[in-house]
Structure 1
Amino acid sequence: MTRELYDLCGIDERLRFSPYCWRARYALAHKGLDVQTRPWRFSEKEALAFSGQGQVPVLVDGDEVVHDSYEIMRYLDRAYPESPLLGEGPAEARARFFKHYAERSLAPAILRTVVMDLFNAIHPDDRAYFRETREARLGCSFEEFHSPAKGLSQLDTALAPLRGRLEEADFLDGDAPGGADYLVFGFFMWAHCVSSADLVSNADPVYAWRERMLDLYDGLGREALRVTDIEGAYR
């Protein structure tokens, strides 16, 4: 049976920008597992009814249905123990730190920088839903929240511990990439796909790491469609 991953798409169904879906895609590539991605939009909740919830990523692997990027990584480690992503015990606890660090420190700074680009990358049929739900979380409009200068300053501060690690090793998990790298890099792919904003300078060790991550698995990230590749979509 074909392994399937339900993956968020934007104005073009080839535009896949969810940081959580990118986590899952890199995790599958790390395991050497083939997967067929299925484009999904926010307005297609019924398509995920079989999973018991309404968010992506959703992985269908034979009779197994798993949602949530972190749970997908845990499942892959159980079902395919070779080349662990997260490990167990203290190693898995460390991976959880990177999960929360990325979601609570990096994601808000990146969102403040690219939120209007992100909004324009979303399919027109999904924009009203996206604006209503996300502005409710933010407590203000996208236009009020959007501030690239503040976002980049916030991100620069948040990246300090990442820089420290990447001055010691090529990847967060050492000489080779692992779960910690994918948990963090998903948010860089998010920005990479929807915006042309430069999040870090090319002298930053985080930039060199991002370039290495883009090139992994035959250019999985580098070959991804960006909104800037879609004629007339980026402004």
Structure 2
Amino acid sequence: MTILLYELVGADPSRPFSPHVWKIALALAHKGLPFETVPVPFTGVPKIEGGFSKTVPVIRDGGTLMKESFDIAVYLEETYPDRPSLFKGEGGKAAARFVERWSQAVVRPYLGGAALMDIYGRLAPADQAYFRPSRQARFGDRSLEEVSGEREAGLHAWRAGLEPLRDMLSYQPFIGGDGPLYADYIVAGFLQWMRVVSPFRFLDPADPVAAWFERCLDLHGGLMRKVPAAA
């Protein structure tokens, strides 16, 4: 049975951008599980599956509904143990939880602020009306324009914060080692988020992290690359 994956979109339903949904799209492809996506705008998320979740991703696998990206990844691992592993054991799962927390603390905050106006510009009017006040409240009642306007000033520090990943990639091609695991998809999802919504050059092309991300873009038949970079 085909799994349904609810994904976040703006006015263009062909450009899903939620980093957390991208993690699960990659995880499903890694497992070789057939899935279909259901595009949902911001204002439609509370209506998914009768109000099952306030956020995406949400999947329906037959009679099972799941939410929260890490919980979904664990569900896929446990439900389909005969498929390629996302963690390669409990140690890999524990390491992925660390990568998730590191990403939330180091990778996401800067990108979230840097992309605010780019995301806003890609939304339909009803979603813009929701997005502006909700995000301005999240950033201390500062305007979207003010927060996004600081992205150049914060870029160097953000790139420097990627040094642990950069150093790791000096001796292995993926966070998972010779091949990708869910830990790779966690970080790649955040970078894909920025790639899809903004033309801002957030990675230095000469950075090993950029080379790793290019490898991730090629994974699973170029799943992420099928959505063109923002222009």
TM-score by length of 2: 0.93
Write out per-residue CA displacement over residues 66-102 of structure 1, whole angstroms, 9 at most, x where no aligned residue: 0111111011001111322134433222111111111
| Residue 150 of structure 1 pairs with residue 153 of structure 2 | yes
* Deviation of the 1:159 alpha carbon: 0.6
* Deviation of the 1:194 alpha carbon: 0.5
Partner of 2:100: 99
Partner of 1:129: 130
- Where 1:102 maps in the other structure, the secondary structure is helix
How many corresponding residue pairs? 228
| Residue 80 of structure 1 pairs with residue 80 of structure 2 | yes
Mind listing any 5+ residue stretches in structure 1 that lack a counterpart? 229-235
Partner of 2:91: 90
Identity percentage of aligned residues: 38
Q: Which one-letter code corresponds to 2:72 in the other structure? A: I
CA distance in 1, matches of 2:144, 2:228: 24
Kindly indicate whether the alpha-carbon contact (under 8 Å) linking 2:116 and 2:144 is maintained by their aligned counterparts in 1.
Answer: yes
Mind listing any 5+ residue stretches in structure 2 that lack a counterpart? none
CA distance in 1, matches of 2:157, 2:189: 18
Kindly indicate whether the alpha-carbon contact (under 8 Å) linking 1:99 and 1:180 is maintained by their aligned counterparts in 2.
Answer: yes
* Deviation of the 1:208 alpha carbon: 0.4
Partner of 2:177: 174
- Where 2:115 maps in the other structure, the secondary structure is helix
Kindly indicate whether the alpha-carbon contact (under 8 Å) linking 2:100 and 2:186 is maintained by their aligned counterparts in 1.
Answer: yes
CA distance in 2, matches of 1:154, 1:119: 25
Write out per-residue CA displacement over residues 103-154 of structure 1, whole angstroms, 9 at most, x where no aligned residue: 1211111123222112212222201211111211111221221112123123
| Residue 41 of structure 1 pairs with residue 41 of structure 2 | yes
* Deviation of the 1:46 alpha carbon: 4.9
Partner of 1:212: 215
TM-score by length of 1: 0.91
- Where 2:206 maps in the other structure, the secondary structure is coil
- Where 2:43 maps in the other structure, the secondary structure is coil
Write out per-residue CA displacement over residues 143-201 of structure 1, whole angstroms, 9 at most, x where no aligned residue: 22111212312311211111011111111111101111001110000001001111122
* Larger deviation, residues 115-124 vs 41-50: 41-50
* Deviation of the 1:205 alpha carbon: 0.4
